[in-house]
Amino acid sequence: MEDGAQQLGHCMVDMKELNADPEGLSAAGAVHKSKRPQVEFSLACNDLVASGGDRKPNALVQVAVIDPHKQHLISHTCTEIVEANGDPLFLTGVTFPSEYHASPETLVKLTVYDAKDKNQESSSLVGSATFSVGELLRAKDERLTLSLSSSASSVPRGIRAHGQNMKMSANAAPWYSDGACAAGTVVVSRLKMGEMEEVDVDHITTDVPSHKCPLVCESASHAGIDRENNPPTGPVFKNPICKVYRFQTEDSKWMLVREQMEECTLSFSVPKQLLSLYIQEDMSRVQDLRELGELSPHWDNLRKEVMTRYGGIISSYQETFAELDKITGRSFKPSCCKAQKSLQFIPINLHTQRMRVTCPKKTDAFYDIVTVGAPAAHFQGFKCGGLQRLLSRYEAEKKSFSTAYQCIYYSPQHTAKAQEVLSTMSLLQPLITSLAEQLLQAAQEHSCPGLRDALKNLSDKTEQFVHTLKDELVKSALLALHAARPGYVSKSQKQNPAQGGQHQGRVLQGAEQSPSPAQGLPGHSPATSTTDGTAMCNNVDGSQNPHPLMRGEGAPLKHQDSIPHHKEYDEEEWDRVWANVAKCLNCVIAMVDKLLEEDNSKQEPVPEQQQQQQQLADVIISHNPGTWKEQLCPLVTRLKECVMEVVEKARRGMTFVLLQEAACSIPQGFLLQQRRDVVFSQALAALACGFVMRLYAGMQDQGFLRQLHLVGLVAQFESLLSTYSEEIGMLEDMEVGISDLQRVLFQITEAQTDDFRDLQPLVCGRRDHFTVEVPLPRLVFQSLPAEIREGKPLRVFPVMFNVGINEQQTIAERFGDITLQERINQRNFETLEAYYKSLSEKLPLECLPSFQTQADLKELLETLGQNVVTKKRKNVEILWIAATICRRLNGIRFTSCKSAKDRTSMSVTLEQCALLRDEHQLSKDFFIRALDCMRSRLTQGDVGQWDDPEAGGPTDNKPASRHFYPIALLLVSSHLLVVWLILSLVFLLAKYQ
């Protein structure tokens, strides 16, 4: 178990300290350099008396703190309620997060209440006591026994109450007990991390007889969660909220469990960076449209309309960016703002949660999870469904759009290819130019090794450039662009006056069309074919309105989704242009080989191929005598000119493809793109948050780092949305958003400085491909494997499993349709299975973390596959098994529901207790109590943001009533539910008649 725990635990690394002293790591990867132990203590009471006298009290303790510097009273936290026990032992302890730096002068007030019910609708004061932190630290065994006083008193002079929970306690008890009206005692015991001892205490009992109570937890090292000395999750996390518990194990020992939830700065920084990139990309697209040159009136009208649409998107995104730039201080978006336009790109309630488990004589274990609201376009609504349904409908209707707008229909594959070509050219063209300059610099320095390296890099990138452009789509797009020029129509009309501008065309069919014999001809892509009939040219007179509903009564326009062909256009011109790049590269290679051979003092036999290159170089040198640079400069210049010529032509062709795709999708295509941008922004912010957290946790795990650069990481999104009502649209949005994360790569870079501002991740790229750069401090970066340091792109494999669990899902399963959920689970299971197969081929499974439950991964996958295809209502086994597989695969865990509140918190707390039971032998008798402690909102006091991060103050435990009828009761019987539905319908009809 000890070895397993060492592999299981995610290390917590202080980047500042590690950068200063990289040798300060223990074998488990934790930094043991805490400068000041964290003050944490447990609570227990003795001899409490209920107000009624005929029953035992339901005790809870409210903890308040007085800061000696600020001089005001702060409601800090509450324990759970221990029912019907006069000697309660509280499992929830007290800890001070980073904003509460406890000094010896800090005063702590403990107020004990008798809660008559769990909802705390009515409670009575039992008593209160006060102590200072210094008294606890100086006490023997760091343990205090304080008498509770029930006499009334006000808050001391000069101290003001702060926090809503203080309404009950601020005037209820004195700060310094005078012994009057003694109501029992409270025992305060300091908690420490590390090895624990058990102490028999007769006057304190637990719910389980004969169990011992830990009053003093001896520790070999104080490794408390002090953010200054040991930030556990990285520089992008802030505002930690901490909770501490003590639970009993099966062998009657005690474990300490700490929860820490934090906000993430990436909630706002990633969407803002994406907005900036969206604006740049759309402005570049507008500029490319302007540079298409002169077009016929029809195409010019379409271009203007598309540019106007792009202008509207750019203006909207700039406005949103300006609004986000005004927001300071906030690090998450509460669910009450989910439909706010200015915050639509921000994920809902994005938080990280880490559970740290300390067991006697065992290495600490860490379990991380990211909670976030389902990525969805709440501002745009779900009246017509979500992205998955809208995109399917849009692709089905786009052909008719292309007919109406007289455009060429391009399939999604062709559009994606056009975007890929533009993206690749934008990356490779400046890179080739830079490498060419490096080649000339090496020639000027007369450096043979530098010349060889520069030539190799230049050759590789140029070959990649040529290979990218060797695509029939580029040639056919240039043909279509030629046909869209103004002169094309007039020439056609002169040559074919009887046909009224008609000409023979080539039809670009969809991917579903069967191939024809003409597909092998020049200018035809695999998706093109010829037609025997004639087709109207796309260049119609500019007086015709391009909108299909506003055409005149003239002759009907025939369907034209063809790539036109004109005999005056030289189809071989494009082949010659991009082939010139390869020829120029060959000349450069030959010249470099000749120069290197002349510099070589030892003459070696020259192979036949090298003799041919030498002859070519001799011819070139005979016309260009001089230094190495002088001989290479004309050839390199010619290469750059050819590359630039190819780029200009290909950019115009691909821009024309995207123009036609945009023109035939007005306005649906632009609205869908905006919706997709919104959803992707939320999903990427969550993924970047999880990746950074997982990276920092596994910095010293060599097996994890090997897995990271050899295969990549799996990111498992657990969704709890129902397949009913508007949540169907949310699920459809989330499905597309998570799938789009496949276009994202991560790259680890070296930070310029160790300042936290320089350690923030950066996003770059275009819509078809984004890269997230994660900077690390210099010394930490140097400790990484060479592949990661060299900038190897790191992949993430997103998978998503959904099981609805609320009452709406019950209705959907009985009367609705759950095929969407079944399809999502089946498709993502296949992705997860493929990832495991790739991982097992490239990496020994011994590198993966080991757990107490040694279930075989292959067996887990088979069980998951069986559950995915099994018809079972609310089959939560799918979520359990998928989460287990994710942790076993070193993956990143996400849990989502509509707002990342109720259902998410229920799922996370249940998962944490199950981990404590399965991996750390949590006693079965303490399982329910542990679950109640983690789910209790009373334990937050003024820090009411743990279960409800958006709450401005404390919340009670009383659930809000959202339904007129108690549906949960009615669902016990399907017959009762049917009766309820019928009666409700009759009631509504009678009311409105």
The residues annotated with a catalytic role in the active site are 897
Q: How far is CA 481 from CA 407, 523, 806, in A?
A: 12, 13, 55
Q: CA nearest 761: which of 126, 273, 62?
A: 273
Residue 277 and residue 851: Cα distance in Å, rounded?
A: 42
How far, in Å, are 147, 189, 418, 432, 802 from residue 44 at the CA level? Answer: 12, 9, 69, 71, 42
Determine the Cα–Cα distance for residues 560 and 919; give it in Å rounded to an integer: 65
What is the number of other CB atoms lying within 10 angstroms of the CB of residue 650? 27
- What's the N-to-C CA distance of the chain in angstroms? 70
Do residues 639 and 584 make contact, with C-beta atoms less than 8 angstroms apart?
Answer: yes
Whether 173 contacts 186, CB under 8 Å: no
Collapsing DSSP to helix, strand or coil, 977 comes out as helix
DSSP state, residue 259:
E
Strand partners for 257: 245, 357
Residues 6+ apart with CB under 8 A from 338: 348, 373, 378, 899
Nearest Cα to 778, choosing from 806, 746, 749?
749
Please state the φ and ψ torsions of residue 305, each to the nearest 5 degrees. -65, -40
Task: Look up residue 383 and give its DSSP letter.
Answer: T
Report H helices in 542-697.
Answer: 573-599, 608-623, 628-663, 668-697
Query: From CA 328, how far away is CA 752, in angstroms rounded?
Result: 25
Residue 248, CA atoms < 13 Å, CB-side half-sphere: 21
β-bridge mates for residue 528, sequence order: 508
Sign of the Cα torsion 922, 927, 932, 935 reads positive
For residue 266, which phi and psi values (nearest 5 degrees)?
-70, -15
Q: Judge whether 67 and 79 are in contact, CB under 8 Å.
A: no
Q: Distance between CA 273 and CA 766 in Å, rounded?
A: 11
Q: How far is Cα 800 from Cα 679, in angstroms, rounded to an integer? A: 15
Name the region of 29 (left: φ>0; alpha: ψ -120 to 50; beta: rest): left
Q: What is the DSSP string of 439-452?
A: HHHHHHTT-HHHHH
Q: Give 427-430's long-range contacts (Cβ < 8 A, gap of 24+).
A: 428/461, 428/464, 428/465, 428/468, 429/465, 429/643, 429/644, 429/647
What residues does 143 pair with on adjacent strands? 189
What is the C-alpha to C-alpha distance for residues 618 and 774, in angstroms, rounded to an integer? Answer: 49
Cα–Cα distance, 302 to 288 (Å, whole number): 14
Instruction: Kindly report the backbone phi and psi dihedral angles of residue 71, in degrees, each rounded to the nearest multiple of 5, phi listed first.
Output: 55, 50
Dihedral angle, C-alpha 136, 139, 140, 144, nearest 10 °? -60
- The number of beta carbons lying within 10 Å of the beta carbon of residue 327 is 14
CA distances to 131, 464, 584, 588, 591 from 632, rounded to whole Å, are: 83, 22, 11, 7, 7
DSSP for residue 189: E
302 membership: H or E segment, kind and range: helix 297-326
